[in-house]
């Protein structure tokens, strides 16, 4: 069927006069993108997989050696790395959970008609559109112990959000929640407005209260799109680098991406860093896979 449609080129067109087929035109559009992806994405990916089995260091000229699984072995038995993973896990859970709750809550509030709804929605989306490094820098100022507005507003004296080892990670997570809740809000709004109004009317007639309607109608019907938001945010949170890197130097807030950066570009341990990057990739893939399986199950209903 598709191949039949592909040959339907208007015989009067200039392309046909040049002797091009529909297939030629399709290739003209697709091949540059494919080449770009292969050169800049797929090739480095495979090349770095090769590096991960060597002791290659990008800043040294001496020849590198094949070391087999040694990099992986060392990394997986390194307590320091494991503590980075634990920190990352805490960060992902706190920040993604926060974004889901705040984002979905905002969407519930916005899912009705009120004056200036469009303007307010747009304003709420602004944090998401800023550069993460800039957001990090600004929040560093907001958190400032001596003259930051956050301590002033909440009356916290000179509480040092970012240099206190116990709070640094959560301070970064709060910033991330501020920045990315709008994303969850946007997806949730799409999900909520796709729930037909007549179902709410039917529920009202059926004497369902607010909470019953919310848990039995609203939540099940928006859950597929909420799961998609969850997948995106988990993946992103897992690889958070810029916000955390610009905000704090606390070891208790050293996410796996920061660890990876230090190993690759401060210690110049390129081979080992490639191995670590692959470990992170496999973990993200595994988590995403779980979500996707669950998503498919939800969608089947």
Stretch near another protein under the rule CB under 8 A, chosen from 41-49, 114-122, 208-216, 278-286: 208-216
**Residue 113 backbone dihedrals phi, psi, to 5 degrees:** -95, 130
Q: Closest distance between another protein and the C-beta of residue 298, in Å?
A: 9
Binding letters toward another protein, positions 159-198, x by CB under 8 A:
-------------------------------------x-x
Q: Closest distance between another protein and the C-beta of residue 214, in Å?
A: 12
If the CB atoms of residues 208 and 284 are measured against another protein, the closer one turns out to be: 208
**Is 115 among the residues that bind another protein (CB under 8 A)?**
no
**Is 282 among the residues that bind another protein (CB under 8 A)?**
no
**Is 201 among the residues that bind another protein (CB under 8 A)?**
yes
Q: How many residues bind another protein (CB under 8 A)?
A: 18
**Is 204 among the residues that bind another protein (CB under 8 A)?**
yes
Asked if residues 241 and 257 have their Cβ atoms less than 8 Å apart, the reply is: yes
If the CB atoms of residues 115 and 155 are measured against another protein, the closer one turns out to be: 115
**Is 287 among the residues that bind another protein (CB under 8 A)?**
no
The three-state (H, E, C) secondary structure of the chain, written as one string: CHHHHHCCCCCCCHHHHCCCCHHHHHHHHHHHHHHHHHHHHHHHHHHHHHHCCECCCCCCCCCCCECCCHHHHHHHCCHHHHHHHHHHHHHHHHHHHHHHHHHHHHHHHHCCCCCCHHHHHHHHHHHHHCCHHHHHHHHHHHCCCCCCHHHHHHCCCCCCCCCCCCCHHHHHHHHHHHHHHHHHHHHHHHHHHCCCHHHHHHHHHCCCCHHHHHHHHHHHHHHHHHHHHHHHHHHHHHCCCHHHHHHCCCHHHCCHHHHHHHHHHCCCCHHHHHHHHHHHHHHHHHHHHHHHHHHHHHHHC
**Is 208 among the residues that bind another protein (CB under 8 A)?**
yes
Length of the chain: 301
If the CB atoms of residues 73 and 216 are measured against another protein, the closer one turns out to be: 216
Stretch near another protein under the rule CB under 8 A, chosen from 33-41, 177-185, 202-210, 253-261: 202-210
If the CB atoms of residues 43 and 212 are measured against another protein, the closer one turns out to be: 212
Binding letters toward another protein, positions 215-234, x by CB under 8 A:
-xx--xx-------------
Q: Closest distance between another protein and the C-beta of residue 36, in Å?
A: 42
**Is 209 among the residues that bind another protein (CB under 8 A)?**
yes
Question: Which residues are near another protein by CB under 8 A?
Answer: 196, 198-199, 201-209, 212, 216-217, 220-221, 301
């Amino acid at each position: 069927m598709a191949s039949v449609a592909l040959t339907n080129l208007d015989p009067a067109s200039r392309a046909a006069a040049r002797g091009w087929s529909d297939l030629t035109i399709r290739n003209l559009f697709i091949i540059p993108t494919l080449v770009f992806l292969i050169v800049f994405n797929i090739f480095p990916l495979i090349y770095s997989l090769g590096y991960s089995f060597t002791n290659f260091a990008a800043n040294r000229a001496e020849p590198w050696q094949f070391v087999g699984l040694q990099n992986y072995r060392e990394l997986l038995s390194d307590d320091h790395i494991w503590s980075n993973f634990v920190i990352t896990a805490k960060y992902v859970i706190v920040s993604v959970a926060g974004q889901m709750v705040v984002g979905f809550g905002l969407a519930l509030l916005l899912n009705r008609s009120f004056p200036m709804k469009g303007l307010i929605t747009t304003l709420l989306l602004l944090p998401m559109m800023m550069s993460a490094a800039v957001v990090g820098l600004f929040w560093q100022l907001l958190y400032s112990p001596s003259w930051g507005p956050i301590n002033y507003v909440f009356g916290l004296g000179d509480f040092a959000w970012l240099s206190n080892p116990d709070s640094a990670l959560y301070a970064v997570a709060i910033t991330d929640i501020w920045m990315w809740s709008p994303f969850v809000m946007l997806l949730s709004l799409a999900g909520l407005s796709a729930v037909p109004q007549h179902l709410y009317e039917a529920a009202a007639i059926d004497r369902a209260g607010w909470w019953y309607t919310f848990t039995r109608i609203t939540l099940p019907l928006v859950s597929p799109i909420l799961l998609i938001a969850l997948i995106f945010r988990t993946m992103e949170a897992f690889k958070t680098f810029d916000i955390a890197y610009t905000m704090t130097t606390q070891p208790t807030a050293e996410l796996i991406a920061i660890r990876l950066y230090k190993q690759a570009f401060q210690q110049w341990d390129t081979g080992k860093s490639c191995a670590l990057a692959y470990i992170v990739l496999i973990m993200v893939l595994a988590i995403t896979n779980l979500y996707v399986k669950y998503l498919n199950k939800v969608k089947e209903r």
